[in-house]
């Protein structure tokens, strides 16, 4: 296994991710673990991460001496390169200017780490790599025994190696995707240089996670708020695998779920997994509290607060629960400031169950905290959840509540649910010939929005005066920015025809052609 020592970089988790992609097991630990810890961990290789501070002088973080005594390959990345340099007798100096972003690095001296790894075909760029740099200082003198491995015009020592000791260091970040050959480089390090087998898979992750959950929880009980979303579903399946009936899932139906969603969640968890699931139908209570409220932020706050109340009431009925499980995944940790600086202004107050652990006096169990979304999905499939469920588009906590503009009424929710289901069905059934994928797979999020305005139509011989539905489909990689999807006209035509014919009460369908920014993905 590989040990990653974290010096506080925002992208340390990406190193772990690349190592996992090379099918090698790894763990991240803080840079100041003890020498004893390192000896008992017995790593086959050690990676020293970058750091959030741009300059070397900002802090005095060092790798424990045991790193250098372990006799295993060490890779220093960015700050990791600085600390390797200084600890082994070289020199780091403040640079005149920061280098940030894209750079082309030239490889030197045929090192095992970079040999044969390159980005360009042309002779004049032979041996060059497209990389991503972010640093203020630079190495000005390599430690004894090191040779130059890579350089750029502004950073003459951008990589160095002591091949006898199998120590390597790079100034750039191989873990980010902007460094095109980054995954090849990390793979080379852990597989070829360190000799790790490459036999680790999601299946082994399950075994390790199960063991860890059992150890953490012991014979105490756990509750988990099931939302039907991917993250809480995968967390539930994993924890259920570990502790069976010591887990109770609470599924709160706020009346703003998608068509048949409640049934689907119950079939899956109670029916197929035989998990303990409490299904709370709180729709009347939620819709009651929302009567007469049309301000989007107020609606969100009410739904959030009500959710906490219902969940809390259920939790109190379980006398032995000591743990609250959540499907927090790594990007949530970053976004909520777990590793990052303060969040920007609130555009929309997102609803989650934060705050619950304190009021309930429960300990937090978050088994997905280190995984990225696609890894969570792979884990879900490995746990036996249906791919349909695991690859669903994200659905916001407040549900249809933010997709019914203005005041929420049950009738509106019923109309919207049916229109939305037709849209999703058509997206799933329409295959793009170029890619062979369905339009559901080709979009990141797609849904219908209910507009509480009436327009005139004609149906058969009669005049209609009914509501409008807007369709929204976007493509995005991070949901921070998004493009509206260029869906085929034929698909839009079929969808609108079906909605107007099948959903009495809706006589007009529009397609939203706004990108984010300036529009957001949801309408409220
Ligand atoms: P916006 O509308 O801000 O949405 O562009 C970005 C992504 O976040 C989802 N979203 C939410 N998810 N609770 C959630 O769990 C919320 O309150 C919430 N509001 C928006 C939205 O569906 C999109 O994927």
Q: Judge if 417 and 340 occupy the same domain.
A: no
Buried b / exposed e across 268-288, counting CB within 10 Å, b at 16+?
Answer: bbbeebebbbbbeebbebbbe
ipTM score assigned to the predicted complex: 0.97
Give the length of the chain.
524
**CA 508 / ligand 1 centre spacing (Å):** 26
Residue with the nearest Cα to atom 8 of ligand 1? Answer: 396
In a domain, 180, yes or no: yes
**CA 480 / ligand 1 centre spacing (Å):** 10
| Nearest partner of 22 among 177, 130, 171, 182, judged by Cα | 182
Q: Judge if 220 and 330 occupy the same domain.
A: yes
Pocket test for ligand 1, best of 522, 523, 524 (most atoms within 8 A of CB): 522
Q: Judge if 259 and 276 occupy the same domain.
A: yes
pLDDT of residue 339: 43
pLDDT of residue 344: 36
CATH number of the domain bearing residue 470:
3.30.300.10
Paired sense of beta strands 276-281 and 247-253, if any: parallel
**CA 284 / ligand 1 centre spacing (Å):** 24
* Domain total of the chain: 3
Binding residues are 227-233
pLDDT of residue 323: 94
CA–CA gap between residue 366 and residue 326 (Å, rounded):
5
Q: Judge if 14 and 155 occupy the same domain.
A: yes
Q: Judge if 477 and 359 occupy the same domain.
A: no
Q: Judge if 206 and 188 occupy the same domain.
A: no
Which atom of ligand 1 has the smallest separation from the CA of 304?
Answer: 17
In a domain, 281, yes or no: yes
Residue with the nearest Cα to atom 17 of ligand 1? Answer: 350
SS (H, E, C) 393-434: CCCCCCHHHHCECCCCCHHHHHHHHHHHHHHHHHHHHCECCC
Q: Judge if 312 and 437 occupy the same domain.
A: no
Domain boundary residue among 193, 224, 243? 193
Q: Judge if 266 and 235 occupy the same domain.
A: yes
Q: Judge if 417 and 373 occupy the same domain.
A: no
CATH number of the domain bearing residue 85:
3.40.50.880
Q: Judge if 176 and 219 occupy the same domain.
A: no
Which atom of ligand 1 has the smallest separation from the CA of 398?
Answer: 17
Which atom of ligand 1 has the smallest separation from the CA of 393?
Answer: 24
Which domain does 484 fall in, by range? Answer: 409-511
Q: Judge if 375 and 226 occupy the same domain.
A: yes
Q: What is the pLDDT along the chain (524 residues), one digit of tens a residue?
A: 999 999 988 788 899 999 999 999 998 889 999 999 999 999 999 999 998 765 566 567 899 999 999 999 999 999 999 999 999 999 998 877 777 788 999 999 889 999 988 888 788 888 889 999 877 788 999 999 999 999 998 899 999 999 999 999 999 999 998 899 999 999 999 999 999 999 888 888 899 999 999 999 999 999 999 988 899 999 999 999 999 999 999 999 999 999 999 999 999 999 999 999 999 999 999 999 999 999 999 999 999 999 989 998 998 898 889 999 999 888 777 655 444 333 334 455 554 555 566 777 889 999 998 888 889 999 999 999 999 899 999 999 899 999 999 999 999 999 999 999 999 999 999 999 999 999 999 999 999 999 999 999 998 889 999 999 999 999 998 888 899 999 999 999 999 999 999 999 999 999 999 999 999 999 99
| CA triple 455-457-459, angle to 5 deg | 150
- List, chain by chain if needed, residues with CB within 6 Å of any ligand 1 atom: 348, 350-351, 394, 396-398, 445, 479, 516, 520-522
Are the beta carbons of 397 and 348 closer than 8 angstroms?
Answer: no
CATH number of the domain bearing residue 357:
3.40.50.620
Burial class, 121, CB count within 10 angstroms (exposed 0-12 / middle 13-18 / buried 19+) = exposed
pLDDT of residue 347: 52
Q: Specify the pTM.
A: 0.79
Residue with the nearest Cα to atom 16 of ligand 1? Answer: 350
In a domain, 521, yes or no: no
Are the beta carbons of 91 and 139 closer than 8 angstroms?
Answer: yes
Q: Judge if 382 and 446 occupy the same domain.
A: no
Residue with the nearest Cα to atom 4 of ligand 1? Answer: 521
pLDDT of residue 101: 85
Domain boundary residue among 172, 193, 214? 193
Domain boundary residue among 330, 358, 390? 390
Pocket test for ligand 1, best of 479, 516, 518, 524 (most atoms within 8 A of CB): 479
pLDDT of residue 9: 83
pLDDT of residue 55: 56
Residue with the nearest Cα to atom 11 of ligand 1? Answer: 396
**CA 479 / ligand 1 centre spacing (Å):** 8
* Active site (catalytic) residues: 78, 173, 175
Binding residues for ATP are 227-233
In a domain, 351, yes or no: yes
**CA 269 / ligand 1 centre spacing (Å):** 25
pLDDT of residue 341: 31
């Amino acid at each position: 296994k590989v040990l990653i020592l974290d010096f506080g970089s925002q992208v340390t988790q990406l190193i772990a991710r690349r190592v996992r992609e090379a099918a090698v097991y790894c763990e991240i630990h803080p840079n100041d673990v003890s020498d004893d810890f390192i000896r008992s961990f017995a790593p086959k290789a050690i990676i020293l991460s970058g750091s959030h501070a741009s300059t070397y002088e900002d802090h005095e973080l060092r790798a424990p001496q045991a790193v250098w005594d372990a006799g295993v390959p060490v890779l220093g990345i960015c700050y990791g390169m600085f600390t390797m340099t200084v600890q082994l007798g070289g020199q780091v100096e403040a640079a005149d200017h920061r280098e940030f972003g894209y750079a082309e690095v030239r490889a030197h001296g045929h090192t095992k780490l970079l040999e044969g790894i390159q980005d360009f075909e042309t002779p004049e760029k032979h041996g060059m790599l497209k990389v991503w740099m972010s640093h203020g200082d630079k190495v000005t003198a390599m430690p004894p025994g090191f040779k130059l491995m890579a350089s750029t015009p502004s950073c003459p020592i951008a990589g160095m190696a002591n091949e006898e000791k199998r120590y390597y260091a790079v100034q750039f970040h191989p873990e980010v995707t902007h460094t095109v050959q980054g995954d090849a480089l990390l793979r080379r390090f852990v597989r070829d240089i360190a000799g790790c087998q490459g036999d680790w898979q999601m299946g082994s992750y399950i075994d390790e996670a199960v063991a860890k959950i059992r150890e953490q929880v012991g014979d105490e009980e756990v509750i988990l708020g099931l939302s039907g979303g991917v993250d809480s579903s995968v967390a539930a399946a994993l924890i259920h695998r570990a502790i069976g009936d010591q887990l109770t899932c609470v599924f709160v139906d706020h009346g703003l779920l998608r068509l048949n969603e409640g049934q689907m969640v119950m079939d899956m968890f109670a029916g197929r997994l035989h998990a303990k699931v409490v299904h709370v139908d709180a729709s009347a209570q939620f819709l009651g509290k929302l009567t007469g409220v049309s301000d989007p932020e107020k609606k969100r706050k009410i739904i959030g607060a009500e959710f906490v109340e219902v969940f809390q009431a259920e939790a109190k009925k379980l006398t032995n629960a000591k743990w609250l499980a959540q499907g927090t995944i790594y990007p949530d940790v970053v976004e909520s400031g777990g590793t990052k600086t303060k969040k920007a202004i609130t555009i929309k107050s997102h609803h989650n169950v934060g705050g619950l652990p304190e009021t309930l006096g429960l300990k937090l169990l978050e088994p997905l905290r280190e995984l990225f979304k696609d890894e969570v999905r792979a884990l879900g499939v490995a746990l036996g959840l249906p791919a349909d469920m695991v690859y669903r588009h994200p659905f916001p906590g407040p549900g249809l509540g933010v997709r019914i503009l203005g005041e929420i009424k049950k009738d509106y929710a019923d109309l919207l649910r049916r229109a939305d289901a037709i849209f999703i069905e058509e997206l799933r059934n329409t295959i793009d010939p170029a890619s062979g994928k369905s339009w559901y797979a080709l979009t990141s999020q797609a849904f219908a929005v209910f507009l509480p305005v009436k327009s005139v139509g004609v149906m058969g011989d009669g005049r209609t005066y009914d509501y409008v539905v807007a369709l929204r489909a976007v493509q995005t990689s991070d949901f921070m920015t998004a493009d509206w999807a260029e869906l085929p006209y034929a698909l839009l035509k079929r969808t609108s025809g079906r909605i107007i014919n099948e959903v009495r009460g809706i006589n007009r369908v529009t397609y939203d052609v706004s990108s984010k920014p300036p529009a957001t993905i949801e309408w409220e």
